[in-house]
C-alpha cells in the first residue's frame, strides 16, 4: 500500500505538474484541454467522477449553491466570493456545480500537491471565474487579478493589453504572492453576473491567444526584446500558466519548468522570452481572437456535453445500485423494503442536491435515521445487523468505484435503520444461514490452508520417513546392492532430507513406521540403517559388518574396529536446515559426550563437528565409532537425535548431487577420524588425489563443498608435511656432506621414512607400499638437487618438484573405496594378524 500510495502520489504530482504545465502552454485550450487533462489522469478522473456524481444531483434537482458550500470549499471557493456565482441559467448553474465539484477535487489535490492551484481543475475553475469576472481581460490580466483578488484589475481581455501590464504581471505575480491555495482569485469574478458563456468565451479566447502567442513566439524569436526576468516568481505560476505564463512562457518554458520544482521551477525559463512574448502577444491575440472565441465556445459546449453524459451515466449506475439494494431487501422483507426504499429515496434525493449541501442534508437525514435505527437496533440481533451489513458490502463491491462512496455511506447508515422488527425473525434465520455458510466456508478455507502448509514442507509424517519404509523395488540401487537392503538409498535420502519434516510429526510417526526393521523401530526415523547382510553387500570389498548403530548392534564388527559404518541418519531434521541429517553414526551410543547442536548454523556446526571429530580422534579413539564428524552430536540423546547432523553444514543442496556414487554404503554427513586415518593411508598411494577420486574413495560421506574442501585440505596438509620432511632431510643430507642425490635412498629403516610413517601411519598397523618409498626417494633427491643447485632461492622453487611428484601418484587399492576398508585392513591385521591378508586385500601381495 505504501508504495502504491507514494507512487500514486508521485504520479499525481507529476501529472499535476504536467497538467499545470500543459495548461500554461495551451493555456487557452482550457475547456478542451482541461477535459483532456482530466481524462488523462486517473486520479483526476476519479475525483471528477465523484464530483460529477455529486454534481449530478445538483444538476438534476436543485442548482442552488449554498454559500456554505463555498465556504466549505475554502481555498478554492471562498476566493470566488461564493455567492458571486449565481447561476442565471441552467448552464450557469451546472457550470457552478461543476465548478464546485472541481474545486473540491482541487482542494484534494492541493492538499497533496506542493502547489496550490496547479491542478487542472483549479485552472479550469480559474478560467471560468476569470471569464466571469473580467470577461475581457487577457490572461495576463487575469493573472494579476489573481494576485489581487480584489484586483482583477485588468479585466480587459484586451488583447492589446500592452506590454507594460504584462511585464507588470510578471513582476506583480512575483510580488503578489497569491497564496497558491487560493486559486480563487480568478474564481472570484467580480462580475458575478456575467454569464458562464461569456466567461467561457473569454477563457477560450485567452487560451487561444496564449496558444497562438506561443506558436508565434516560437516562430518569431525576436532577440530584440530581452527583458530581465528579475522579478518573476512563480507563485504566480498559476497565473502565469493561465495567462501570462501562457503567453509568456512558451512551450519551452513549460519544458524548462521542472515538474517537481515548486513554483520556482515554474518561472519561465527565459525572462527574455517572456518579455518578448508579452510584447508580441497583443498583436497575435487580436488577430485570432475571433476564431479563438468561437473555438472556445465549441470546446466548452463539447465539454459540457461530455460531462452531461458522464453524469447521466453515473445516475444510471446509481439507479442500478439502488435497485440492487432494494432487491436485497425485497428478498428479505417487503415491509422493510418499503422503509428502506423510502429511506433510500430520501437519501438519493438528498444526494441530488448540491453536493455540498447534500452532504449536510445527508448528515441530517442520517441523524434522523440514526435515531430511528438506534431504537430499532436495540431490538436488532447483532448477527442480523452484521449479516445485513455484509450483504450491503457485497452489493457495493459490485458497483463501480466512483459512485459508490456516497452510496455506501448512505446504504450503510440506512441498513441498520432499515431493519424492521418484522424482519427480525426472518432476518435471524437468514443470519443464521449466512453464519453457517460462513463458518463452513471458513472451515474449509482453514483446512485447505492448513493442508497446503502442512504438505509442502514435507510430506506428511509418513512420507518423511519414506526412505525407510519405501519398498526397495521402487528405488533401485545404483550399485546393484540388494535392494532389499537398500531401503536407505543415499540419494533418496538426500532428497528426502532436503525437506524437513516437522519434528513433531517425525516423533509422532516414529513408532508406527511401517516396514521398519527392528533397527528402524529403534532407530530414529530418519536413520538409515542396514542390516548386517546389507552391510556386507554394501561394501565393495565386502566384508565389514558394522554399519549398525553401536547401541543397536554392539556386536557388530564395527564396534571392534575403529571404523564404524555410518548408517544412521538423524531422525530429527532441524527445521532451519534444509538438509537432511544423516547421523553419522553411531557414536552416538551415547558414548560421546558429544554435544547436541541445535544451532542452525550449519557452517559452524560443520566446523565444530570436524573439530570435535578431530579431538575425539586424538582424544579417544573410540573404537567404533563415528565416522562422521557429526558423531559427536548424536551423543547427547541416546536416541540419536543427534542434532549434529545439523551440520549439514556447508551443505548446499547442490552438494547433494555430489553424493558418492556408491550408494550402497551409508552416507555420512561428515568426515570422521577414521576417514582421516584412511586419507593418511591413501596418501601412501596418492599425494594429489582429485576431488573425484576422493569422492570415489569416500563414498560413505555425503560430499559437499565443505567435505571436499576438508579432504583436499587434509591432503594438502599431508603434502605439506611430506615436503617439509623431504626438504629437511635433503638439507640435512647436504649438511652431512652428501654430494650426490644418488647417494640418497629411502628405506623403511631410514629416519625419513620413520618420520613419515609416524605421521601417516602412526599405529604402524599398515604396511606402507614400496612404491611410496620410491616416491619418497625421488622426492628427496629432487629437493636435494634443487637445493644444491641453489634453486631454493626462488620462492617458487618447490613447484618444479611438485610437478614431478604429482606424476608419481599410484593407484589406490580398491579396498580403500570401501567405507569399511579400515575395518577390513585393520581387522585383518589385528584379528587375523596376518599381514599377508592385509597385503592381499590391498593388492600388494601377489
Q: Minimum distance between the CB of residue 617 and DNA, rounded to whole angstroms?
A: 8
Residues in the chain: 846
Q: Which CB atom, from 76 or from 786, has the smaller least distance to DNA?
A: 786
C-alpha cell at 780: 628427496
Of the listed pieces 246-254, 347-355, 447-455, 795-803, which binds DNA according to CB under 7 A? 795-803
Contacts of residue 285, defined as CB under 8 A and 6 or more positions apart, other chains included, come to 138, 159, 160, 205, 209, 212, 213, 292
Among 705, 728, 731, 835, binds DNA (CB under 7 A): 705
**Measured between alpha carbons, how far is 212 from 495 in angstroms, rounded to an integer?**
75
Among 337, 798, 817, 827, binds DNA (CB under 7 A): 798
Residues 63-82 that bind DNA (CB under 7 A): none
Among 93, 256, 710, 820, binds DNA (CB under 7 A): 710
Residue 133 has a CB neighbour count (10 Å cut-off) of 31
Q: Minimum distance between the CB of residue 760 and DNA, rounded to whole angstroms?
A: 7
Q: Minimum distance between the CB of residue 778 and DNA, rounded to whole angstroms?
A: 15
Of the listed pieces 347-355, 560-568, 631-639, 708-716, which binds DNA according to CB under 7 A? 708-716
Q: Which CB atom, from 130 or from 826, has the smaller least distance to DNA?
A: 826
Q: Minimum distance between the CB of residue 781 and DNA, rounded to whole angstroms?
A: 18
Q: Minimum distance between the CB of residue 688 and DNA, rounded to whole angstroms?
A: 5
**Measured between alpha carbons, how far is 71 from 80 in angstroms, rounded to an integer?**
10
Q: Which CB atom, from 421 or from 716, has the smaller least distance to DNA?
A: 716
Among 713, 748, 754, 807, binds DNA (CB under 7 A): 713
3-class DSSP state of 156: strand
Phi and psi at residue 641, to the nearest 5°: -65, 15
Q: Which CB atom, from 64 or from 759, has the smaller least distance to DNA?
A: 759
Residue 408 has a CB neighbour count (10 Å cut-off) of 17
Q: Which CB atom, from 581 or from 718, has the smaller least distance to DNA?
A: 718
Residue 793 CA from chain centroid, whole number? 58
Residues 666-695 that bind DNA (CB under 7 A): 676, 680, 688, 690-691
374 near DNA, rule: CB under 7 A: no
Q: Minimum distance between the CB of residue 490 and DNA, rounded to whole angstroms?
A: 21
Q: Which CB atom, from 451 or from 713, has the smaller least distance to DNA?
A: 713
Q: Minimum distance between the CB of residue 686 and DNA, rounded to whole angstroms?
A: 11
3-class DSSP state of 503: helix
Q: Which CB atom, from 385 or from 723, has the smaller least distance to DNA?
A: 723
Q: Which CB atom, from 585 or from 756, has the smaller least distance to DNA?
A: 756
Q: Which CB atom, from 28 or from 670, has the smaller least distance to DNA?
A: 670
Of the listed pieces 60-68, 316-324, 477-485, 793-801, which binds DNA according to CB under 7 A? 793-801
Determine the size of the site formed for DNA (CB under 7 A): 30
163-to-133, 237, 283, 349 alpha-carbon distances in Å:
21, 18, 11, 52
324 near DNA, rule: CB under 7 A: no
**Measured between alpha carbons, how far is 638 from 633 in angstroms, rounded to an integer?**
10
Q: Minimum distance between the CB of residue 685 and DNA, rounded to whole angstroms?
A: 15
Of the listed pieces 150-158, 255-263, 442-450, 798-806, which binds DNA according to CB under 7 A? 798-806
Residue 825 has a CB neighbour count (10 Å cut-off) of 27
3-class DSSP state of 711: helix
Q: Which CB atom, from 474 or from 713, has the smaller least distance to DNA?
A: 713
Q: Minimum distance between the CB of residue 711 and DNA, rounded to whole angstroms?
A: 9
Q: Which CB atom, from 407 or from 680, has the smaller least distance to DNA?
A: 680
Q: Which CB atom, from 335 or from 716, has the smaller least distance to DNA?
A: 716
3-class DSSP state of 338: helix
Of the listed pieces 182-190, 245-253, 521-529, 716-724, which binds DNA according to CB under 7 A? 716-724
Q: Which CB atom, from 719 or from 771, has the smaller least distance to DNA?
A: 719
Q: Which CB atom, from 254 or from 610, has the smaller least distance to DNA?
A: 610
Helix, strand and coil content of the chain, in percent to the nearest 5, comes to 65, 0, 35
Q: Minimum distance between the CB of residue 584 and DNA, rounded to whole angstroms?
A: 15
815-to-90, 542, 543, 544, 665 alpha-carbon distances in Å:
105, 9, 10, 11, 13
Q: Minimum distance between the CB of residue 783 and DNA, rounded to whole angstroms?
A: 12
Q: Which CB atom, from 306 or from 785, has the smaller least distance to DNA?
A: 785
616 near DNA, rule: CB under 7 A: no
Among 60, 175, 614, 837, binds DNA (CB under 7 A): 614
Q: Minimum distance between the CB of residue 726 and DNA, rounded to whole angstroms?
A: 11
Cα of first residue to Cα of last residue in the chain, in angstroms, is: 80
C-alpha cell at 332: 428479505
Residue 490 has a CB neighbour count (10 Å cut-off) of 29
The residues that bridge with 293 in the sheet, in sequence order, are none
Q: Minimum distance between the CB of residue 270 and DNA, rounded to whole angstroms?
A: 48
- Please give the helix or strand (H or E) that residue 90 lies within, else none: helix 90-112
Torsion of CA 105, 110, 111, 114, to 10 degrees: 150
**Measured between alpha carbons, how far is 759 from 102 in angstroms, rounded to an integer?**
92
Are 557 and 586 in contact by the 8 Å Cβ rule? The answer is: no
Of the listed pieces 163-171, 501-509, 713-721, 819-827, which binds DNA according to CB under 7 A? 713-721
Q: Minimum distance between the CB of residue 805 and DNA, rounded to whole angstroms?
A: 8
Closest CA to 181 of 130, 232, 146, 135: 146
Site string for DNA, 588-607 (x = CB under 7 A): -------------------x
807 near DNA, rule: CB under 7 A: no
CA torsion through residues 313, 314, 320, 322, sign:
negative
Closest CA to 149 of 120, 103, 184, 174: 184
Q: Which CB atom, from 679 or from 838, has the smaller least distance to DNA?
A: 679
Residues 717-776 that bind DNA (CB under 7 A): 717-721, 723, 759
Region for residue 146 given its phi and psi (left: phi exceeds 0; alpha: psi -120 to 50; beta: otherwise): alpha
Closest CA to 629 of 646, 642, 611: 611
Among 220, 335, 716, 732, binds DNA (CB under 7 A): 716
Q: Which CB atom, from 720 or from 770, has the smaller least distance to DNA?
A: 720
**Measured between alpha carbons, how far is 369 from 342 in angstroms, rounded to an integer?**
11
Q: Minimum distance between the CB of residue 183 and DNA, rounded to whole angstroms?
A: 55
714 near DNA, rule: CB under 7 A: yes
Residues 123-162 that bind DNA (CB under 7 A): none
422 near DNA, rule: CB under 7 A: no
C-alpha cell at 157: 481581455
Among 709, 747, 764, 831, binds DNA (CB under 7 A): 709
Closest CA to 98 of 294, 308, 299, 242: 308
Q: Which CB atom, from 192 or from 656, has the smaller least distance to DNA?
A: 656
Of the listed pieces 99-107, 370-378, 638-646, 712-720, which binds DNA according to CB under 7 A? 712-720
Closest CA to 593 of 645, 636, 638: 636
Q: Look-up: residue for cell 435503520?
A: 417
Are 131 and 96 in contact by the 8 Å Cβ rule? The answer is: no
Q: Minimum distance between the CB of residue 441 and DNA, rounded to whole angstroms?
A: 48
Torsion of CA 608, 609, 611, 612, to 10 degrees: 110
Are 597 and 644 in contact by the 8 Å Cβ rule? The answer is: yes
Are 370 and 417 in contact by the 8 Å Cβ rule? The answer is: yes
Q: Look-up: residue for cell 483549479?
A: 122
Are 635 and 550 in contact by the 8 Å Cβ rule? The answer is: no
Q: Which residues bind DNA (CB under 7 A)?
A: 607, 610-611, 614, 676, 680, 688, 690-691, 705, 708-710, 712-721, 723, 759, 795-796, 798-799, 802
Amino acid at each position: 500500500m505504501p508504495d502504491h500510495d507514494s507512487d500514486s502520489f508521485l504520479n499525481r504530482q507529476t501529472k499535476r505538474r504536467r497538467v499545470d504545465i500543459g495548461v500554461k502552454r495551451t493555456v487557452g485550450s482550457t475547456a478542451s484541454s482541461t477535459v483532456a487533462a482530466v481524462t488523462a489522469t486517473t486520479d483526476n478522473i476519479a475525483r471528477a467522477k465523484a464530483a460529477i456524481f455529486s454534481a449530478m444531483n445538483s444538476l438534476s434537482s436543485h442548482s442552488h449553491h449554498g454559500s456554505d458550500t463555498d465556504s466549505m470549499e475554502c481555498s478554492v471557493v471562498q476566493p470566488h466570493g461564493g455567492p458571486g456565482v449565481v447561476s442565471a441559467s441552467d448552464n450557469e448553474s451546472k457550470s457552478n456545480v461543476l465548478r464546485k465539484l472541481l474545486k473540491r477535487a482541487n482542494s484534494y489535490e492541493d492538499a497533496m500537491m506542493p502547489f496550490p492551484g496547479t491542478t487542472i481543475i483549479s485552472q479550469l475553475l480559474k478560467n471560468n471565474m476569470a471569464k466571469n469576472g473580467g470577461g475581457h481581460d487577457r490572461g495576463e490580466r487575469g493573472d494579476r487579478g489573481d494576485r489581487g483578488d480584489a484586483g482583477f484589475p485588468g479585466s480587459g481581455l484586451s488583447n492589446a493589453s500592452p506590454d507594460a501590464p504584462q511585464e507588470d504581471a510578471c513582476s506583480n505575480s512575483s510580488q503578489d504572492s497569491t497564496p497558491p491555495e487560493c486559486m480563487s482569485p480568478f474564481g472570484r469574478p467580480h462580475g458575478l453576473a456575467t454569464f458562464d458563456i461569456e466567461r467561457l468565451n473569454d477563457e477560450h479566447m485567452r487560451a487561444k491567444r496564449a496558444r497562438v502567442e506561443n506558436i508565434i513566439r516560437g516562430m518569431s524569436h525576436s532577440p530584440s526584446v530581452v527583458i530581465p526576468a528579475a522579478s518573476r516568481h512563480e507563485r504566480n505560476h498559476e497565473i502565469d500558466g493561465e495567462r501570462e505564463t501562457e503567453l509568456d512562457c512558451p512551450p519551452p518554458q513549460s519544458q524548462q519548468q521542472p515538474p517537481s520544482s515548486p513554483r520556482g521551477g515554474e518561472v519561465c525559463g527565459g525572462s527574455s522570452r517572456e518579455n518578448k512574448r508579452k510584447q508580441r502577444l497583443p498583436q497575435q491575440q487580436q488577430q485570432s481572437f475571433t476564431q479563438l472565441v468561437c473555438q472556445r465556445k465549441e470546446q466548452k459546449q463539447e465539454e459540457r456535453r461530455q460531462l452531461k453524459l458522464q453524469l447521466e451515466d453515473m445516475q444510471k449506475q446509481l439507479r442500478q445500485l439502488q435497485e440492487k439494494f432494494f432487491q436485497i431487501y425485497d428478498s428479505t422483507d417487503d415491509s422493510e423494503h418499503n422503509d428502506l426504499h423510502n429511506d433510500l429515496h430520501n437519501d438519493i434525493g438528498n444526494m441530488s442536491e448540491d453536493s455540498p449541501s447534500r452532504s449536510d442534508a445527508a448528515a441530517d437525514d442520517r441523524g434522523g435515521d440514526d435515531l430511528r435505527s438506534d431504537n430499532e437496533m436495540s431490538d436488532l440481533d447483532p448477527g442480523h445487523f452484521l449479516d445485513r451489513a455484509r450483504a450491503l458490502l457485497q452489493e457495493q463491491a459490485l458497483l463501480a468505484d466512483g459512485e459508490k462512496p456516497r452510496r455506501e455511506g448512505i446504504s450503510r447508515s440506512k441498513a441498520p435503520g432499515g431493519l424492521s422488527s418484522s424482519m427480525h425473525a426472518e432476518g435471524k434465520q437468514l443470519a443464521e444461514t449466512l453464519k453457517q455458510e460462513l463458518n463452513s466456508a471458513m472451515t474449509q478455507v482453514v483446512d485447505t490452508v492448513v493442508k497446503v502448509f502442512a504438505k509442502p514442507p514435507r510430506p506428511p509424517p509418513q512420507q518423511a520417513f519414506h526412505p525407510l519404509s519405501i519398498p526397495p523395488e521402487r528405488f533401485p540401487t545404483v550399485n546393484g546392492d540388494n535392494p532389499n537392503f537398500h531401503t536407505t538409498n543415499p540419494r533418496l535420502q538426500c532428497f528426502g532430507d532436503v525437506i524437513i519434516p516437522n519434528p513433531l510429526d517425525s516423533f509422532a510417526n516414529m513408532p508406527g513406521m511401517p516396514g521398519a526393521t527392528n533397527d528402524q523401530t529403534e532407530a530414529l526415523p530418519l536413520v538409515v540403517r542396514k542390516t548386517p547382510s546389507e552391510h556386507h553387500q554394501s561394501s565393495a570389498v565386502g566384508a565389514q559388518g558394522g554399519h549398525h548403530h553401536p547401541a543397536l548392534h554392539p556386536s557388530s564388527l564395527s564396534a571392534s574396529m575403529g571404523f564404524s559404518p555410518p548408517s544412521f541418519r538423524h531422525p530429527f531434521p532441524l527445521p532451519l536446515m534444509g538438509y537432511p541429517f544423516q547421523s553419522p553414526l553411531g557414536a552416538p551410543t551415547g558414548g560421546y559426550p558429544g554435544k547436541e547442536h541445535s544451532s542452525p548454523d550449519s557452517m559452524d556446526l560443520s566446523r565444530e563437528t570436524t573439530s570435535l571429530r578431530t579431538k575425539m580422534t586424538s582424544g579417544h579413539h573410540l573404537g567404533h565409532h563415528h565416522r562422521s564428524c557429526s558423531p559427536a552430536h548424536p551423543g547427547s540423546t541416546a536416541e540419536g537425535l543427534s542434532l549434529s547432523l545439523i551440520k549439514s553444514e556447508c551443505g548446499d543442496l547442490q552438494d547433494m548431487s555430489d553424493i558418492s556414487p556408491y550408494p550402497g554404503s551409508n552416507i555420512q554427513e561428515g568426515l570422521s577420524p577414521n576417514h582421516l586415518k584412511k586419507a593418511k593411508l591413501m596418501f601412501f598411494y596418492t599425494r594429489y588425489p582429485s576431488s573425484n577420486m576422493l569422492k570415489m574413495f569416500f563414498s560413505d560421506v555425503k560430499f559437499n563443498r565443505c567435505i571436499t574442501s576438508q579432504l583436499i585440505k587434509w591432503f594438502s596438509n599431508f603434502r605439506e608435511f611430506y615436503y617439509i620432511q623431504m626438504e629437511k632431510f635433503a638439507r640435512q643430507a647436504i649438511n652431512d656432506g652428501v654430494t650426490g642425490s644418488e647417494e640418497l635412498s629411502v628405506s623403511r629403516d631410514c629416519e625419513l621414512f620413520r618420520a613419515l610413517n609416524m605421521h601417516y601411519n602412526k599405529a604402524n598397523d599398515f604396511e606402507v607400499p614400496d612404491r611410496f618409498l620410491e616416491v619418497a626417494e625421488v622426492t628427496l633427491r629432487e629437493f636435494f638437487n634443487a637445493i644444491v643447485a641453489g634453486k631454493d632461492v626462488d620462492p617458487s622453487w618447490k613447484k618444479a618438484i611438485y610437478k614431478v611428484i604429482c606424476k608419481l601418484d599410484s593407484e589406490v587399492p580398491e579396498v580403500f573405496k570401501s567405507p569399511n576398508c579400515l575395518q577390513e585392513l585393520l581387522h585383518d591385521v589385528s584379528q587375523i594378524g596376518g599381514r599377508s591378508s592385509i597385503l592381499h586385500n590391498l593388492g600388494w601381495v601377489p
